[in-house]
Amino acid sequence: MSTEPAATAPLSVEGLTTSILVGTTWYDAVRDISFHVRPKETLALVGESGCGKSLTALSVMGLLPPAAVRVTSGRIVVDGVDMTAADEPTREAMRGDRIGMIFQEPMTSLNPVLPIGFQVGEALMRHRGFTRRQARERARELLELVRVPAAAERLDAYPHQFSGGMRQRVMIALALACGPRVLIADEPTTALDVTIQAQVLALMADLQEKEGLALLLITHNLGVVASVADRVMVMYGGDVVESGPVHAFFARPTHPYSEALLAAMPRIEGDLPLQPIPGQVPSLTEMPVGCRFQTRCPIRDERCAVLPPMTTVAGDPDHRVRCWARVEA
Ligand X SMILES: Nc1ncnc2c1ncn2[C@@H]1O[C@H](COP(=O)(O)OP(=O)(O)O)[C@@H](O)[C@H]1O
Closest distance between ligand X and the C-beta of residue 53, in Å?
3
Mode of pairing for the β-strands spanning 99-102 and 81-82: unpaired
Least distance to Mg ion, CB of residue 107, Å: 16
- Least Å distance, CB 43 to ligand X, is 15
> How far, CA to CA in Å, does 138 sit from each of 119, 134, 142, 143, 310?
12, 6, 6, 9, 46
Nearer to ligand X, 135 or 218 (CB): 218
Residue 32 CB neighbours (<10 A):
16
Nearer to ligand X, 97 or 186 (CB): 186
- Among Mg ion, ligand X, none, the one that 253 touches (CB under a kind-dependent 5 to 8 A) is none
The only residue of 17, 19, 42, 54 in contact with Mg ion, by rule CB under 5 A: 54
Which residues of this protein are in contact with ligand X, per CB under 6 A?
Answer: 20, 29, 47, 49-55, 65, 68-69, 283-284
Closer to ligand X by Cβ: residue 153 or 286: 286
β-pair partners for 100: 183
* Distance in angstroms (rounded) separating the CA atoms of residues 262 and 120: 38
Binding segment toward Mg ion, per CB under 5 A, in 51-59, 62-70, 73-81, 295-303: 51-59
Q: Out of ligand X, Mg ion, none, which partner does residue 284 contact, by CB within 5 to 8 A per kind?
A: ligand X
The candidate with the shortest Cα–Cα distance to 218, out of 1, 96, 42, is 42
As measured in angstroms, the least distance from the Cβ of 267 to ligand X is: 19
Q: How many distinct helices (H) and strands (E) make up the chain? A: 11, 12
CB of 117 to Mg ion, least distance (A): 29
Angle between helices 194-211 and 164-176 (to 10 degrees): 10
User: Interface with Mg ion by CB under 5 A: which residues?
Assistant: 53-54
